[in-house]
Chain A
Amino acid sequence: MSNLSDRRGQLDVYIRPVISVSKLVKRYGNVVAVDGLSFEVGKGEIVGFLGPNGAGKSTTLRILAGFLGQTSGKATVCGHDVALESREARASLGYMPESVPLYPEMRVGEYLGFRAELKGVARGERSRAVGAAMEKAGVADRATWVIGKLSKGYRQRVGLADALVGSPPLLILDEPTAGLDPNQIRDVRKLLREIGKEHTVLLSTHILSEVESTCSRAIVIAKGKLVAEGTLAEMRKLRRSPALVVVVRGDARKAEAALAALDVFSKIDVELEGDLATLRCAWKKKVDAPENAERAIAALVTAEIPVRSAAPEQSTLEDVFAELTSSEVAT
């Protein structure tokens, strides 16, 4: 069942992607900010747009949102070319710029009403649309507040409400959690997951855990080029576990000797805590890790060492990212 819907999702991508970017280039003078970037985002996806600072994320999003023109290449949003049908393209998306610029002298409700009118929401629909957006973004309780007096977290939510007003099919969010404290980040991520149920979302970030917690797919760029693209599982597969972590009870030195005798580990770090010892065993060759892990556990059991647990060390997306962006090779 899930397989079927997965496949249908994939088909949608090919039938009519919500965002389609092809060989996009943006130059500022001699500086190439975006360098031949191509990717697609399908309907209903929440895609994380990842890259270190200065990778060209914001520039790409600004081109998609219609704020900047590209130097060459083609980008379409909901079937509209962002250069040729800019207005139709802009009408079909909600965009939240990186710094969440707002007019400080306006009240939240007034501002969102202004934005709704600007986006062409019909007069009779406006107050309902504003109310719905405030409800979704969790700012309904601040409707009469002057924006300049709001906290950073609430301002971020007003920015989200702004993007949501009029329920555009696509949301483009540039670093939606930048500058927030951990609680606010958790709230915004929860919000994003909710929003993702009804809208297609492309969000940029340089924090990998953000992608892990909210997105279904990631697009990684560095220096304006595509470095990797895929589901989170695929991204993690890019890098195999670097080590086996074994927790044993009793004589740690005996365990270390038994493991070292196998000659498959390049380094074994031992950490003692009470009568438990945690051994982090780094693989010499990662490729044979699964079989060698079985051998390692068998060796410990043979040596009559009580094993509490044995698990491959999870490589985080940070590791994946570091590897991808330093080598700049997509595999």
Chain B
Amino acid sequence: MRSFWPVFKRELFAFWVTPLAWVLTCVFLVVQGMHFSVLVKNFAEMGSIESDQTPIQAFFGNTVLLYLVLFLLVPPMTMRLFAEERRSGTIESLMTAPVSAPAVVLAKYGAALVTYAAMWAPTLLYVVILQRSGFVDWHVVAASYLGVLLVGAGYLALGLFMSAVTKSQFIALVLTALVLLALFILGIGEFVTRDGTALHDVCAYVSVWAQMNDFASGVVDTRRVFWDGTLVVLPLFLTTRVVDSWRQDG
């Protein structure tokens, strides 16, 4: 694991020295900012306490905007992680240094996760703004951000895996987007399939929509956390195996 730090630092560097992370952060914050201002305006016009929701809840739960943003954010963040190194050949210098495959995989993943968290960090200001004009339940805020982090962690791990299975960044991007879309649609299946069937249960279990609704109302369900954990660990494990397999087929 000694090789974790140098690779982690280099990946962070690659994110933030090239325009990629800045462009993505800008787009992300513009979309989120608009989302937030529309929400707040709506709540302000509603007048009294008719709503059973708070702006925070509406920001994180019961909205398609969150997924749309993740859908646009994650694939371009992860597409280059391995694909670019394999296309340009730098993977050869990387893997012939005394590094281990798990360390390289974790370092790249860690850098993507930290970058992702950094992109969300400025949105904490929205909460500060809300607090100045009203009451904010910090448990809900913490649960919501935990939810966003967990969902993103799974998505990034899937994206990293897709980046390892192809030499083309574009194909990695498309594959990641397709898998994320498939996961989302599977989750939506909760509302389409009949209650009580096995398919309905599966859909409800993997539903990111339902998860964010839960978390945005302050409910941290360990089953959800476990599922998100699976989405992190399994792709990372598979990525490590893929990286090891390159030794055999060149």
* Interface positions of A (Cβ within 8 A of B): 28, 59, 62, 65-69, 87-88, 90-91, 95, 97, 99, 101-103, 105-106, 110, 114-115, 117-120, 162
Contacts and interface: CB of A to CB of B under 8 A. Distances in A.
B97 interface: yes
B89 A90 contact: no
A118 B99 contact: yes
Interface in B1-58: 2-3, 5-7, 9-10, 13-14, 17-18
Interface residues of B, number: 28
Q: Is the interface of B mostly helix, strand, loop or mixed?
A: helix
B60 to A, nearest CB: 35
A117 B6 contact: yes
> Considering residues B9, B18, B100, B250, which has the most beta carbons from chain A within 10 angstroms of its beta carbon?
B250
B247 A67 contact: yes
Contacts of B3: 118
A30 to B, nearest CB: 13
A95 B93 contact: yes
B248 interface: yes
A144 B100 CA distance: 30
Given A101-B92, A105-B14, A118-B7, A69 B248 contact: yes
A105 B2 CA distance: 24
Contacts of A28: 249-250
Contact of B97 (A69, A88, A118): A118
A156 B13 CA distance: 23
B92 A97 contact: yes
Nearest to B90: A101
Contacts of A65: 96
B92 A105 contact: no
A66 B249 CA distance: 13
B6 A118 contact: yes
B213 to A, nearest CB: 41
A91 to B, nearest CB: 4
A117 B18 CA distance: 22
Contacts of A95: 93, 96
B5 A99 contact: no
B13 A106 contact: yes
Contacts of B247: 67-69
